[in-house]
């Protein structure tokens, strides 16, 4: 049987248990960071109010740029998303314009933007 002498780079390697310990400590530190940033950081409210909805937005020449609806909330223009179908149903079927109220929050450290929008929030609280 031929025995090979360890090469020079073998002396630079650390043992497998030490490698596993380093990975375990790194995962533990990452988990603590996720908990701190996810549950302990504050969300700052940037916008809280009603939004103006535009059906079939038009460009400067009056051409429809997109089918559907978008909303103007402060300085931001965003899509209605899941509220688009109920909004258009109310608008086209019941001939009334429902009120869309949105809250935009930004997380304190990670700067994640979160939009939460509701259609006719006063009516829902009166129904319950």
Number of domains in the chain: 2
Asked if residue 91 and residue 66 are part of one domain, the reply reads yes
Expressed as residue numbers, the domain containing 34 is 13-40
57 pLDDT band, cuts 50/70/90, is low
Q: Are strands 113-119 and 43-55 parallel, antiparallel or unpaired?
A: unpaired
**Are 25 and 60 members of one domain?**
no
pLDDT recorded at residue 12? 84
Please indicate, yes or no, whether residues 29 and 53 belong to a single structural domain of this protein: no
Strands across the sheet containing 43-55 = 76-79, 69-73, 43-55, 100-107, 113-119
Residue 20 sits in the same domain as residue 54: no
Does the residue 5 lie in any domain?
A: no
Look at residue 66 and tell me if it is in a domain.
Answer: yes
What's the pLDDT score for residue 124? 53
Q: Does the residue 4 lie in any domain?
A: no
Q: Is the pLDDT of residue 116 over 50?
A: yes
Q: Do 120 and 71 have their domain in common?
A: yes
Residue 6 counted as domain residue: no
Q: For the full predicted model, state whether its pTM sits above 0.85.
A: no
How many residues does this entry show for the chain?
128
Q: Mind listing the pLDDT tens digit for each residue in 10-23?
A: 778 888 899 999 99
Summarize the confidence of residues 70-97 as an average pLDDT.
86
**b/e for 1-35, b at 16 or more Cβ within 10 A?**
eeeeeeeeeeeeeeeeeeeeeeeeeeeeeeeeeee
69 and 20 share one domain: no
Residue 25 lies in a domain: yes
pLDDT at residue 29, as a whole number: 97
* 81 and 105, same domain (yes or no): yes
pLDDT of residue 17: 94
């Amino acid at each position: 049987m031929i025995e090979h002498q360890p090469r020079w780079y073998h002396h630079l390697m650390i043992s497998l248990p030490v490698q596993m310990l380093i990975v375990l400590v790194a995962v533990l530190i990452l988990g603590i960071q996720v908990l701190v940033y996810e549950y302990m950081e504050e969300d700052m409210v940037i916008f809280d109010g009603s939004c103006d909805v535009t059906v079939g937005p038009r460009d400067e020449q009056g051409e429809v740029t997109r089918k559907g609806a978008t909303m103007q909330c402060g300085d931001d223009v965003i899509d209605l998303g899941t509220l688009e179908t109920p909004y258009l149903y109310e608008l086209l079927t019941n001939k009334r314009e429902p009120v869309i109220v949105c809250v935009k929050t930004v997380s304190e450290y990670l700067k994640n933007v979160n939009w939460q929008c509701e259609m006719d929030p006063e009516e829902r609280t009166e129904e319950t």
